[in-house]
Structure 1
């Protein structure tokens, strides 16, 4: 390794540990110059966190969000090659640090925002078309196994944070809502986030649909989904599951995969 590479490695280590490198920077103002590098590094990561959580930033404001960013960076230094993924552990961090947020519902807001970003960046895969299912012979339906689109995330939320997101997400930086959104109410429910084309989407899901999506993600066949619906007390369980299946296809929640259409 060249002397320059050694110096660069030492400076990187010093910035990440926030400890001024002894003897690495010469001159009487070495500490000040080092702080410029260190402050720029932290500021860039704070900006990346704001970009990943714009609604949370609007809720907290600049000062409180920057304080959260500093605390998070101290506990979870960036390790991914791309700062796009900085903040992936923020929900776990604030849940373990109750004083980090002014309201516990903001943990669910963080989960929603991260799921939306993850949906946008998820790998491409062709969505399943209804014609594929319509062409399937009736005797193949019981063993039918489907796959969720790679952009789909399933969330279990404890607060109704969707109205807060709807009120603040469309705003530009520095813009205030016409009416202050009310604090979120407690509400245990499920939510899914996914991508349609290039547009991230989300919607809340009822308990039955949430159970069926979890089973589908676990490899359940169509017959298994019908059994789950029947056990939940649903009349005409197969009809209920077929209706949800049609909705999932229409929304692009399922991935096209001919191999999964085959009977095991």
Structure 2
């Protein structure tokens, strides 16, 4: 047996509980059990780091059960455990009440992952107002805006942001009790998450702005943004000012990049 084959079989024995057969000489049952436990515990710990607020919402025991169930169906395949957990929210959506006692927890997971993704995204030079100042009317009509790589737009089904904020600010190591939180109400909307400098930010989007950012994301020009707003407002004259107001906010928040 080659060294590579030996390593692969040992990894399978640890990761997948595969039968070691004659892989190891002597009795290594206890040692193998320790490695199997450590492998799972480390990945669940990485999952808790990626999903800080979800872990606080569930509590240690419930989150550990969720993490191990997820690991059993979605083993880590990326060289970095930073990316372990990319499908957790989708797994939770079909996991059942025993692992996910409230449907809003799926949204908590989506928000956690979006903010981690925003923090780790690549940098790009921000678009500034000076770049736009010299555009003529034709230039404005054909202007195609580009979002920063950190910008995340996440559809949510519940109003979980107040509870998320309260749990994020709570420190489990402190002597304070967990915050008392009302049950999040159903509310379909889009969460915006991004990084500005070294700080991650988020806010909920109104439907009109969410539609505008959808159009920006697929490369529609400024003129088409105005047309979409006119269609939604039913007022052509109000369209351009509404888009300009959104653009000014995006510039101030650093949501756009240089083309």
TM over 0.5: yes
Q: Which residue of 2 aligns with 1:255?
A: 257
Q: Given that residues 148 and 217 in structure 1 are in contact (C-alpha distance below 8 angstroms), is that contact kept between their aligned partners in structure 2?
A: yes
Q: 1:244 aligns with which of 215, 237, 246?
A: 246
Q: Which residue of 2 aligns with 1:229?
A: 229
Q: Given that residues 98 and 104 in structure 1 are in contact (C-alpha distance below 8 angstroms), is that contact kept between their aligned partners in structure 2?
A: no
Instruction: Return the alpha-carbon distance in structure 2 between the equivalents of residues 63 and 118 of structure 1.
Output: 26
Q: Which residue of 2 aligns with 1:262?
A: none
Alignment of 1:112-261 (within 5 A): 112-175=111-174, 176-177=176-177, 179-233=179-233, 235=235, 236-257=238-259
Q: 1:97 aligns with which of 92, 95, 98?
A: 95
**Pairwise CA distance, 1:58:** 0.6
Q: Which residue of 2 aligns with 1:34?
A: 32
Per the alignment, in what secondary structure is the counterpart of residue 70 of structure 2?
Answer: helix
Instruction: Return the alpha-carbon distance in structure 2 between the equivalents of residues 122 and 102 of structure 1.
Output: 32
Instruction: Return the alpha-carbon distance in structure 1 between the equivalents of residues 196 and 85 of structure 2.
Output: 24
Instruction: Return the alpha-carbon distance in structure 1 between the equivalents of residues 178 and 134 of structure 2.
Output: 50
Per the alignment, in what secondary structure is the counterpart of residue 232 of structure 1?
Answer: helix
Q: Deviations over 1:187-222 (max 9, x none)?
A: 111111000011111100100000010011011000
Q: Given that residues 168 and 177 in structure 1 are in contact (C-alpha distance below 8 angstroms), is that contact kept between their aligned partners in structure 2?
A: no
Instruction: Return the alpha-carbon distance in structure 1 between the equivalents of residues 32 and 172 of structure 2.
Output: 31
Per the alignment, in what secondary structure is the counterpart of residue 148 of structure 2?
Answer: coil
Instruction: Return the alpha-carbon distance in structure 2 between the equivalents of residues 62 and 132 of structure 1.
Output: 50
Instruction: With the length of structure 2 as denominator, give the TM-score of the two structures.
Output: 0.94
Aligned in 2, Cα 1:202/1:108: closer, same or farther, shift over 3 Å? same
Instruction: Return the alpha-carbon distance in structure 2 between the equivalents of residues 72 and 84 of structure 1.
Output: 15
Count of aligned residue pairs for this structure pair:
255
Alignment of 1:7-46 (within 5 A): 7-28=6-27, 30-46=28-44
**Pairwise CA distance, 1:18:** 1.6
Q: Given that residues 229 and 237 in structure 1 are in contact (C-alpha distance below 8 angstroms), is that contact kept between their aligned partners in structure 2?
A: yes
Q: Which residue of 1 aligns with 2:5?
A: 6
Unmatched tracts of structure 1, length 5 or more: 258-264
Aligned in 2, Cα 1:93/1:146: closer, same or farther, shift over 3 Å? same
**Pairwise CA distance, 1:177:** 5.0
CA-atom RMSD, angstroms?
1.4
Instruction: Return the alpha-carbon distance in structure 2 between the equivalents of residues 227 and 134 of structure 1.
Output: 22
Q: Deviations over 1:110-159 (max 9, x none)?
A: 11000000000101111111111122223310110011100001111110
Q: Given that residues 155 and 189 in structure 2 are in contact (C-alpha distance below 8 angstroms), is that contact kept between their aligned partners in structure 1?
A: yes
Per the alignment, in what secondary structure is the counterpart of residue 166 of structure 2?
Answer: helix
